[in-house]
Amino acid sequence: MKAAKHFVAVDLGASSGRVVSGNWDGNRFTLDELHRFPNGPVHVFGSMFWDVLRLWSGIKEGLAKFASMYRTSPDGISVDGWGVDFALLDGSGSLIGNPHHYRDPRTNGIPEKLFRRTPAENLFQRTGVQSLQINTLFQLVSMVESADCRLSAAKRLLMIPDLFHYWLSGEQGVEYTIASTSQMLHCRERAWNRELAKELGIPAEILGPIVQPATVLANLRSEVGRECGFDRPVPVIAGAAHDTASAVAAVPGLDRQSVFISSGTWSLMGVAIPEAITSKEAFSRNFTNEGGASGDRLLMRNLNGLWLLQECVRHCESEGRNHNWETLVEKARLAPPLRSFVDPDAQEFLAAPDMPSAIRGYCRRTGQAEPQDEGSMARCCLESLSLKYREVLDDLESLLKRRFEIIRVVGGGSRNRLLCQLTADFCQRPVVAGPAEASSLGNVMLQAVATGFLNSIDEGRESIAGSCELATFEPSRDASFSEAYERFRNAKASPTALAP
């Protein structure tokens, strides 16, 4: 038997980061969490930043724990994380200031101002990406508008995962999938739209080389290797640096007939397609085209996922009522079905200080029964999210003129059996759930592809399918689910009541 290979995956999220060992025995993957560390915005004089030095310390601590646990060096290291945010480097490669958080107020009003010069639909046709205030493009335009000296001093822009790849390897490049979140790539050419940058006053020379997914950048810098306790060279690999692309790479069985959902605080629902779709219909329905690990495009909608339910739990905890998720989901299962629905993406839910009150207010405004207890509130959140999935499924089928036969759910939400069953029922499609640790598995699998231990992403998906338990949920053929979908759509369209 071949000796097992060990790859280190660094997953960076908006609230925490973690370092995981992904172990490959030639047939199956297993994961061992080595280290978890906090993340979050740092507020200074009204601005919001990321503490990237604290994240760097957390990454190195995780690498040192690998050396201590395995008494050897890993066969690869790769970082994935959230999109849109970036760091600026000077000519010597030093960091210029702390990277801003995507919710920093510097972009307030910037999209509206820019759209007066370049309409939103024009930007969509040129980049394929939905215009969101948080996007890299609008962050950079805000720096141009304010004559920010950091931008004029910059020689290189790196997205957040690329910054850590640089600190690990010494190589400055921007991986394709994370670059695609910036709204600064050509929608067809998979290269920087330097013409757009120049039009907007963004110095195009800071946009460095695009690196394709599953690329070995260089070996780990020797000083980092010594500090972490490694005894031999370690490849640093640009896998799929965008965590969504990494998760989608790990979806078993993803094919032309499949819709994927990466389910967590946010839900990203879509399909893999060869080329971007930038039609008026795609623009009007708020789709975005981002990079996939196979060099393809992920045509997706970004949705508020389990955010509403998480905020309900947080509000209960702030009042001294603690809940575990299993108990809450069981209460939701026992609550009366199909009573109240909300649009998870409604503006009032984006930053509601009291989510239960916001949900009751929405139901009151639309003439529905107000959920009063924890079970009915949780049921409302889960049913509403499942109904939103049905809406996106309909939009995808309308846009692409074909029917999708199966929904494949990965991420933390794949563990929620009630949500998966409701998704199957409302969408009237079988749902295959798992793996829950999709981003880490995708990260590790792409490292195995980059180093030649796997031949392709398709082969890697087959191995992932054999490495985890997948659950299948068949849809109920109950007409009440279709009737509920019509009520959901009517409640969205008008504040007039359509109570059950």
DSSP-derived secondary structure letter, 151: H
Contacts of 214 (CB under 8 A, 6+ apart): 237, 238, 239, 240, 293, 446, 447, 449, 450, 457
- Whole-structure pTM over 0.85, yes or no? yes
pLDDT for res 480: 94
Tell me the domain boundaries of the chain. Answer: 5-243, 253-434+470-500
pLDDT for res 322: 76
DSSP 348-376: GGSS-SSHHHHHHHHHHHTT-PPP-SHHH
pLDDT for res 61: 98
pLDDT for res 320: 82
Mean pLDDT by 10 residues, the chain (500 residues): 84 94 96 96 96 98 97 97 97 97 95 96 96 96 97 98 98 98 94 97 97 98 97 97 98 96 94 96 96 96 92 87 84 96 91 92 95 96 98 98 98 96 98 97 98 96 96 95 92 51
Q: Which residues pair with 207 in a beta bridge?
A: 157
Of 243, 296, 343, 395, which residue is the catalytic one? 243
pLDDT for res 425: 98
Q: Where are the beta strands (DSSP E) in 75-201?
A: 76-80, 86-89, 156-159, 174-175
Helix (H) or strand (E) holding 267: strand 266-273
Rounded CA gap, 241 and 90, in Å?
22
> Are residues 268 and 300 in contact, defined by beta-carbon separation less than 8 angstroms?
yes
243 is catalytic: yes
pLDDT for res 319: 84
Task: Return the HEC string of 175-224.
Answer: EHHHHHHHCCECCCCCCECHHHHHHCCCCHHHECCEECCCEEEEECCHHH
Rounded CA gap, 95 and 81, in Å?
19
pLDDT for res 15: 86
Q: Both tokens of residue 333?
A: 């299962």
pLDDT for res 325: 81
- Class of 5-243 per CATH? alpha beta
CATH 3.30.420.40 fits 253-434+470-500, yes or no: yes
pLDDT for res 308: 94
pLDDT for res 72: 94
Fold matches, 5-243 and 253-434+470-500: yes
pLDDT for res 494: 55
Rounded CA gap, 181 and 288, in Å?
9
